[in-house]
Amino acid sequence: MKTAIILGGGPAGCQCALWLKMLGLDPVIVEKTNKLGGLQHFNPYQNNWLIGMRHTTGREFANNVQQHIEELEIIVLFNDTIAEFNALEKSFSVRVGKHQLETANIIIATGSMPRAEAIDLNDSIAVNAANQDYNERVKTRAVTLRGSRKWQANLPNVFEAHREKLLDKRGFIATDAHCLTPLANIYAIGEVANRMPPCVSTSMADGVVAAKAIQDTLT
Protein backbone atom coordinates (compact mmCIF):
# COMPACT_ATOMS: atom_id res chain seq x y z
CA MET A 1 0.00 0.00 0.00
CA LYS A 2 1.23 3.52 -0.84
CA THR A 3 1.61 6.13 1.91
CA ALA A 4 0.07 8.88 -0.19
CA ILE A 5 -1.07 9.63 -3.69
CA ILE A 6 -0.28 13.26 -4.41
CA LEU A 7 -2.48 14.83 -7.04
CA GLY A 8 -0.46 17.59 -8.75
CA GLY A 9 3.30 17.84 -9.29
CA GLY A 10 3.84 21.55 -8.68
CA PRO A 11 6.09 22.95 -5.92
CA ALA A 12 3.61 21.89 -3.20
CA GLY A 13 3.14 18.32 -4.43
CA CYS A 14 6.82 17.73 -5.21
CA GLN A 15 8.05 19.12 -1.89
CA CYS A 16 5.58 16.86 -0.11
CA ALA A 17 6.73 13.83 -2.13
CA LEU A 18 10.36 14.67 -1.37
CA TRP A 19 9.74 14.83 2.38
CA LEU A 20 7.68 11.63 2.43
CA LYS A 21 10.43 9.83 0.53
CA MET A 22 13.19 11.21 2.79
CA LEU A 23 11.14 10.09 5.81
CA GLY A 24 11.25 6.55 4.41
CA LEU A 25 7.66 6.53 3.16
CA ASP A 26 6.17 5.67 -0.21
CA PRO A 27 4.51 8.53 -2.17
CA VAL A 28 3.21 8.53 -5.75
CA ILE A 29 2.71 11.74 -7.74
CA VAL A 30 -0.09 11.92 -10.31
CA GLU A 31 0.46 14.85 -12.69
CA LYS A 32 -1.93 15.74 -15.49
CA THR A 33 0.77 17.25 -17.74
CA ASN A 34 4.03 15.71 -18.93
CA LYS A 35 6.27 17.62 -16.51
CA LEU A 36 6.77 18.56 -12.87
CA GLY A 37 7.19 22.06 -11.44
CA GLY A 38 3.68 23.47 -11.91
CA LEU A 39 3.20 27.18 -12.61
CA GLN A 40 6.91 27.84 -12.45
CA HIS A 41 7.15 26.47 -15.98
CA PHE A 42 5.31 29.63 -17.07
CA ASN A 43 7.75 31.91 -15.28
CA PRO A 44 10.60 32.94 -17.60
CA TYR A 45 11.83 35.49 -15.04
CA GLN A 46 14.36 35.04 -12.27
CA ASN A 47 12.63 33.92 -9.09
CA ASN A 48 14.52 36.15 -6.67
CA TRP A 49 11.79 35.66 -4.07
CA LEU A 50 13.08 32.20 -3.22
CA ILE A 51 16.02 32.20 -0.83
CA GLY A 52 19.02 30.34 -2.19
CA MET A 53 17.69 30.39 -5.76
CA ARG A 54 18.70 33.85 -6.94
CA HIS A 55 19.56 34.20 -10.63
CA THR A 56 17.47 31.08 -11.31
CA THR A 57 14.45 31.47 -13.57
CA GLY A 58 11.13 29.84 -12.76
CA ARG A 59 11.62 27.42 -15.64
CA GLU A 60 15.08 26.43 -14.43
CA PHE A 61 13.65 25.91 -10.96
CA ALA A 62 10.86 23.71 -12.37
CA ASN A 63 13.37 21.60 -14.32
CA ASN A 64 15.46 21.23 -11.17
CA VAL A 65 12.37 20.08 -9.24
CA GLN A 66 11.75 17.38 -11.84
CA GLN A 67 15.37 16.18 -11.78
CA HIS A 68 15.30 15.97 -7.98
CA ILE A 69 12.15 13.83 -8.01
CA GLU A 70 13.64 11.59 -10.73
CA GLU A 71 16.92 11.18 -8.82
CA LEU A 72 14.99 9.95 -5.77
CA GLU A 73 13.10 7.49 -7.99
CA ILE A 74 9.74 8.72 -6.75
CA ILE A 75 6.99 7.20 -8.89
CA VAL A 76 5.26 9.78 -11.09
CA LEU A 77 2.25 8.97 -13.26
CA PHE A 78 2.32 11.66 -15.96
CA ASN A 79 -0.49 12.79 -18.28
CA ASP A 80 -3.09 11.41 -15.90
CA THR A 81 -5.31 12.14 -12.95
CA ILE A 82 -7.37 10.26 -10.39
CA ALA A 83 -10.42 8.98 -12.25
CA GLU A 84 -12.11 7.42 -9.24
CA PHE A 85 -11.50 6.78 -5.55
CA ASN A 86 -13.34 4.76 -2.93
CA ALA A 87 -12.86 4.86 0.81
CA LEU A 88 -12.06 1.43 2.26
CA GLU A 89 -11.90 0.70 6.00
CA LYS A 90 -8.45 2.23 6.57
CA SER A 91 -7.34 3.29 3.10
CA PHE A 92 -8.49 4.34 -0.36
CA SER A 93 -8.75 2.39 -3.56
CA VAL A 94 -7.74 4.77 -6.35
CA ARG A 95 -7.93 4.40 -10.12
CA VAL A 96 -5.42 6.32 -12.23
CA GLY A 97 -5.71 5.35 -15.90
CA LYS A 98 -5.13 1.62 -16.02
CA HIS A 99 -3.53 1.56 -12.56
CA GLN A 100 -5.56 0.49 -9.51
CA LEU A 101 -3.70 1.62 -6.38
CA GLU A 102 -4.29 1.39 -2.65
CA THR A 103 -3.17 4.34 -0.54
CA ALA A 104 -3.47 5.42 3.07
CA ASN A 105 -3.79 9.12 2.18
CA ILE A 106 -4.66 11.40 -0.72
CA ILE A 107 -3.04 14.82 -1.04
CA ILE A 108 -4.63 17.44 -3.31
CA ALA A 109 -2.00 19.82 -4.74
CA THR A 110 -3.66 20.97 -7.94
CA GLY A 111 -3.16 24.72 -7.54
CA SER A 112 -5.64 27.49 -8.31
CA MET A 113 -7.48 28.76 -11.37
CA PRO A 114 -9.11 32.03 -12.40
CA ARG A 115 -12.77 32.49 -11.52
CA ALA A 116 -14.16 32.99 -15.00
CA GLU A 117 -17.13 35.04 -13.85
CA ALA A 118 -14.85 37.37 -11.90
CA ILE A 119 -12.59 38.23 -14.82
CA ASP A 120 -12.93 41.47 -16.67
CA LEU A 121 -10.33 41.69 -19.40
CA ASN A 122 -10.07 45.43 -18.85
CA ASP A 123 -9.44 44.91 -15.18
CA SER A 124 -5.97 45.14 -13.66
CA ILE A 125 -4.03 43.97 -16.68
CA ALA A 126 -0.36 44.30 -15.93
CA VAL A 127 2.94 42.66 -16.79
CA ASN A 128 4.98 42.20 -13.68
CA ALA A 129 5.41 38.60 -12.63
CA ALA A 130 7.36 39.48 -9.52
CA ASN A 131 4.49 41.38 -7.96
CA GLN A 132 1.78 38.76 -7.46
CA ASP A 133 0.66 39.00 -11.06
CA TYR A 134 0.04 35.71 -12.81
CA ASN A 135 0.09 35.10 -16.51
CA GLU A 136 -2.83 32.99 -17.52
CA ARG A 137 -4.54 32.28 -20.79
CA VAL A 138 -8.13 33.46 -20.49
CA LYS A 139 -10.75 33.30 -23.21
CA THR A 140 -8.01 32.54 -25.75
CA ARG A 141 -6.17 35.77 -24.90
CA ALA A 142 -2.92 35.77 -22.98
CA VAL A 143 -3.23 38.28 -20.14
CA THR A 144 -1.83 38.81 -16.70
CA LEU A 145 -4.26 38.83 -13.80
CA ARG A 146 -3.80 40.67 -10.55
CA GLY A 147 -5.70 40.09 -7.33
CA SER A 148 -6.17 36.86 -5.38
CA ARG A 149 -9.95 37.44 -5.03
CA LYS A 150 -10.27 36.46 -8.67
CA TRP A 151 -8.94 32.96 -8.03
CA GLN A 152 -10.39 29.75 -6.70
CA ALA A 153 -9.28 26.18 -6.03
CA ASN A 154 -8.57 24.08 -9.09
CA LEU A 155 -10.78 21.32 -7.71
CA PRO A 156 -10.17 18.01 -9.50
CA ASN A 157 -13.30 16.54 -11.11
CA VAL A 158 -13.10 13.45 -8.93
CA PHE A 159 -13.82 15.64 -5.86
CA GLU A 160 -16.81 17.47 -7.37
CA ALA A 161 -19.22 15.30 -5.36
CA HIS A 162 -17.51 16.56 -2.17
CA ARG A 163 -17.45 20.24 -3.20
CA GLU A 164 -19.84 21.35 -0.43
CA LYS A 165 -17.80 19.70 2.28
CA LEU A 166 -14.36 20.58 0.92
CA LEU A 167 -14.60 24.22 -0.13
CA ASP A 168 -14.67 27.26 2.12
CA LYS A 169 -16.77 30.31 1.30
CA ARG A 170 -13.99 31.78 -0.86
CA GLY A 171 -13.87 28.69 -3.04
CA PHE A 172 -10.63 27.16 -1.78
CA ILE A 173 -10.17 23.84 0.02
CA ALA A 174 -10.59 24.27 3.76
CA THR A 175 -7.76 22.80 5.84
CA ASP A 176 -6.67 22.66 9.47
CA ALA A 177 -3.17 23.48 10.73
CA HIS A 178 -1.93 20.09 9.47
CA CYS A 179 -3.31 20.66 5.93
CA LEU A 180 -6.03 18.07 6.61
CA THR A 181 -9.35 18.72 4.83
CA PRO A 182 -12.79 17.96 6.34
CA LEU A 183 -12.49 14.50 4.68
CA ALA A 184 -10.52 11.94 6.70
CA ASN A 185 -7.02 11.21 5.39
CA ILE A 186 -7.37 13.71 2.54
CA TYR A 187 -4.98 16.66 2.68
CA ALA A 188 -4.77 19.85 0.57
CA ILE A 189 -1.56 21.82 0.10
CA GLY A 190 -0.38 24.95 -1.70
CA GLU A 191 -2.52 27.31 -3.75
CA VAL A 192 -5.49 24.93 -3.86
CA ALA A 193 -5.83 25.64 -0.14
CA ASN A 194 -5.41 29.41 -0.54
CA ARG A 195 -2.09 29.55 1.25
CA MET A 196 -1.18 33.22 1.52
CA PRO A 197 0.66 34.82 -0.03
CA PRO A 198 0.43 32.41 -2.98
CA CYS A 199 4.03 31.65 -3.91
CA VAL A 200 6.55 28.84 -4.19
CA SER A 201 7.69 29.12 -0.56
CA THR A 202 4.24 28.90 1.05
CA SER A 203 3.23 26.07 -1.28
CA MET A 204 6.37 24.08 -0.49
CA ALA A 205 5.95 24.75 3.25
CA ASP A 206 2.52 23.15 3.06
CA GLY A 207 4.09 20.08 1.47
CA VAL A 208 6.38 19.71 4.47
CA VAL A 209 3.53 20.20 6.95
CA ALA A 210 1.39 17.50 5.32
CA ALA A 211 4.29 15.04 5.04
CA LYS A 212 5.13 15.40 8.74
CA ALA A 213 1.45 15.17 9.72
CA ILE A 214 1.17 11.90 7.81
CA GLN A 215 4.35 10.55 9.41
CA ASP A 216 2.89 11.39 12.82
CA THR A 217 -0.21 9.32 12.07
CA LEU A 218 2.06 6.28 11.59
CA THR A 219 3.82 6.45 14.97
**Residues interacting with ligand FAD, by CB under 6 A?**
7-13, 30-33, 38-40, 42-43, 47, 49-50, 58, 81, 109-111, 129-130, 134-135, 154, 156, 190-191, 198-201, 203
Between 147 and 218, name the residue whose CB sits nearer to ligand FAD.
Answer: 147
Q: How far is the CB of 91 from ligand FAD (least distance, A)?
A: 20
Q: How far is the CB of 89 from ligand FAD (least distance, A)?
A: 26
Between 66 and 91, name the residue whose CB sits nearer to ligand FAD.
Answer: 66
Distance CA 174, CA 66 (A): 28
Between 34 and 219, name the residue whose CB sits nearer to ligand FAD.
Answer: 34
DSSP label at residue 140: T
Q: How far is the CB of 62 from ligand FAD (least distance, A)?
A: 9
The three-class DSSP label of residue 143 is strand
Ramachandran angles phi, psi of 98, nearest 5°? -90, 5
Between 54 and 165, name the residue whose CB sits nearer to ligand FAD.
Answer: 54
Between 12 and 143, name the residue whose CB sits nearer to ligand FAD.
Answer: 12
Kind of pairing, strands 92-96 and 151-153? Answer: unpaired
Q: How far is the CB of 58 from ligand FAD (least distance, A)?
A: 6
Q: How far is the CB of 38 from ligand FAD (least distance, A)?
A: 2
Spatial CB neighbours of 153, under 8 Å, sequence gap ≥ 6: 110, 112, 113, 167, 171, 172, 173, 188, 192, 193, 194
Distance CA 98, CA 201 (A): 34
- Which residue, among 215, 168, 217, 219, has the nearest Cα to 196 in the 3D structure? 168
Q: How far is the CB of 90 from ligand FAD (least distance, A)?
A: 24
Kind of pairing, strands 99-108 and 2-7? Answer: parallel
Between 10 and 114, name the residue whose CB sits nearer to ligand FAD.
Answer: 10
| Burial bucket for residue 176 (CB in 10 Å: 0-12, 13-18, 19+) | exposed
